[in-house]
Amino acid sequence: MTATRQPMSPEIAAAAADWIVRRDGGRMTAEDEQAFALWLAEPAHSDAVARLERIWDLLNGDDELGQHGGEAEPVAELPRQRVLPVPARGYGPRPTPRLRRGALASGGVAAALALVVLGGVQDWPMRMRADHMTGIGERREIALSDGSVVQLDSGSAIALDYTGPRRGVRLLAGAAMFDVAPDRARPFTVDAEGGSVTALGTAFAVRDEGGRATVTVTRHSVRVQDAGRAAVVGEGQRADFGRGTLTGPLPAQGDAAAWTRGRLVVVDRPLGEVVAQIDRYRRGYVAVTGPAAAIRVSGVYDLEHPLAAIDSIEKSLGLSSLRLSDRFIILRR
């Protein structure tokens, strides 16, 4: 019978991450090295360091870790704070670059790992800029002064500018669904990722994908502008913009408004991209590594129960996972 590994407490995990940061940042004196050696003499401490290092190795895609693919890594309940993902959020599957733990002189690699495990990233800068925002797993409907209605997705934020002849909204993060009240004298424009979407009597959704944005029209049409180019996007169509490019209009895929009903509808999308979307609805970190990230999937996923959605994906596709409780999950084949 295999012995069950004991949970790693947040206190020990925090201390282990701190030692990793100091060690890999080259900031340890001879006294620090002696203190670290003494600290490692405790089995629970050395085990914590080894387990954090193993997680980073898995993120780097080390094949020899595959033998542990289905083994759970228990940890005590972590602070309920939004965590910084490693790698950073972006459009499509998350990249998994190979990095030496000591590659960054500042200890940035280990620091990022510490943030993944322990959380602690505050959203105060976003709060200072936003007029309305939602937390992880939260959706909110906002009635604007002109009669327009905005629905904010999980982890989203907007800033308003209703001064002068323009009704302006800036999407700072996440996604929003807009049902625009008509007013020909005051255009309704949403700015995101360097481009803009202007309503032409319409309902539409805009999502910030990190470096680029996507607009999907559910009623009437919009005008999209970016880098000097403009296009009219009609009902049932979408366009991608940002980074000085504008692509579209293209046929919309799935149901862009499904998240307003607590569902994610995808049609022939890479698994890494789908899991990244589900990850927006839970506290913690989940990602797909290796060839599994490119698997094309279609389906309807319950965003009210994102962990159940991840479990269903793992079982239905025959994947394995490494877990630090249910807060840190790596799927792989």
Mean pLDDT, residues 117-127: 55
Tell me what percent of the chain is helix, strand and coil, each rounded to the nearest 5: 30, 30, 40
Looking at residue 155, what is its pLDDT? Answer: 87
Instruction: Identify the H or E element spanning 306.
Output: helix 306-316
Whether 301 shows a pLDDT value over 70: the answer reads yes
Cβ distance 266 to 306 under 8 Å? no
**Do 36 and 74 lie in a common domain?**
yes
More reliable by pLDDT, 89 or 111: 111
Q: What is the CATH number of the domain that holds 180?
A: 2.60.120.1440
Whether 192 shows a pLDDT value over 70: the answer reads yes
**Domain for residue 87, yes or no?**
yes
**Do 161 and 223 lie in a common domain?**
yes
Residue identified by tokens 């980074």 is 243
Whether 88 shows a pLDDT value over 60: the answer reads no
**Domain for residue 209, yes or no?**
yes
The CA distances from residue 304 to 61, 183, 198, 284, in Å, are: 30, 35, 31, 15
**Domain for residue 220, yes or no?**
yes
Mean pLDDT, residues 115-139: 70
Q: The pTM is what?
A: 0.63
Which residues 6+ apart lie within 8 Å of 316 measured at CB? none
**Do 267 and 118 lie in a common domain?**
yes
Model confidence band, residue 99 (pLDDT cutoffs 50, 70, 90): very low
**Do 69 and 98 lie in a common domain?**
yes
Looking at residue 164, what is its pLDDT? Answer: 83
Mean pLDDT, residues 44-56: 78
Cβ distance 54 to 285 under 8 Å? no
* Residue 273 DSSP label: H
**Domain for residue 326, yes or no?**
yes
**Do 245 and 273 lie in a common domain?**
no
**Do 144 and 108 lie in a common domain?**
no
**Do 247 and 283 lie in a common domain?**
no
**Domain for residue 221, yes or no?**
yes
Model confidence band, residue 11 (pLDDT cutoffs 50, 70, 90): low
How many domains would you assign to the chain? 2
Mean pLDDT of the chain: 76
**Do 225 and 318 lie in a common domain?**
no
Helix 306-316 to helix 271-279 angle, to the nearest 10 degrees? 160
**Do 297 and 246 lie in a common domain?**
no
**Do 91 and 239 lie in a common domain?**
no
**Domain for residue 50, yes or no?**
yes
Model confidence band, residue 107 (pLDDT cutoffs 50, 70, 90): very low
Looking at residue 233, what is its pLDDT? Answer: 93
Last residue of a domain, one of 252, 282, 307: 252
**Domain for residue 297, yes or no?**
yes
Residue 282 half-sphere exposure, CB side, CA atoms within 13 Å?
22
More reliable by pLDDT, 60 or 202: 202
**Do 103 and 189 lie in a common domain?**
no
Whether 84 shows a pLDDT value over 50: the answer reads no
User: Model confidence over 307-326: pLDDT tens digits?
Assistant: 999 999 999 999 988 776 67
The token duo for 66 is 């595959």
Residue identified by tokens 């407490």 is 9
Lowest mean pLDDT segment, chosen from 27-31, 170-174, 271-275: 27-31
Q: Percentage of the chain surpassing pLDDT 90?
A: 27
User: Model confidence over 239-249: pLDDT tens digits?
Assistant: 999 877 888 78
Distance CA 211, CA 242 (A): 6
**Domain for residue 146, yes or no?**
yes
The range of the structural domain enclosing residue 148 comes to 140-252
Angle of CA points 40, 42, 48, to nearest 5°: 65
**Do 113 and 211 lie in a common domain?**
no
Edge-to-edge order in the sheet of strand 188-192: 132-133, 157-161, 167-173, 188-192, 195-199, 221-226, 229-234
